[in-house]
Amino acid sequence: MSDFDLLLSYLCGRRSIREFSDQQLSRGCLQQLIEAATWAPSAGNRQDWMFSVVESSDAKQALVATVRGKWEGILAANQDLGFAQELAEYASTFADFARAPVVIAVSAAAPNAMHRHLLGEAARATVGSFASAAMAAQNLMLAAHALGLGACCMTGALAAAAELSQLLGLGRRREVVCLIALGHPVSQPAAPQRKPYHEVVRYH
The reported pLDDT for the residue numbered 179 is 98
C-alpha–C-alpha distance, residues 139 and 189, integer Å: 21
* Residues in a beta bridge with 109: 174
The reported pLDDT for the residue numbered 102 is 98
The reported pLDDT for the residue numbered 91 is 86
Residue 184 neighbours by CB under 8 Å, 6+ apart: 20, 21, 23, 25, 101, 148, 149, 150
C-alpha–C-alpha distance, residues 154 and 104, integer Å: 10
The reported pLDDT for the residue numbered 86 is 86
| Domains of the chain in sequence order | 17-187 (3.40.109.10)
- At 152-198, the pLDDT tens digits run 999 999 999 999 999 999 988 999 999 999 999 999 899 899 999 99
C-alpha–C-alpha distance, residues 74 and 191, integer Å: 33
- At 71-82, the pLDDT tens digits run 999 988 888 877
Strands (E), the chain: 49-54, 102-109, 150-154, 174-183
The reported pLDDT for the residue numbered 27 is 96
The reported pLDDT for the residue numbered 111 is 83
The reported pLDDT for the residue numbered 106 is 98
pLDDT by 10-residue block (mean), the chain, 204 residues: 91 94 96 98 96 97 96 89 82 91 96 86 87 97 96 96 96 94 94 94 96
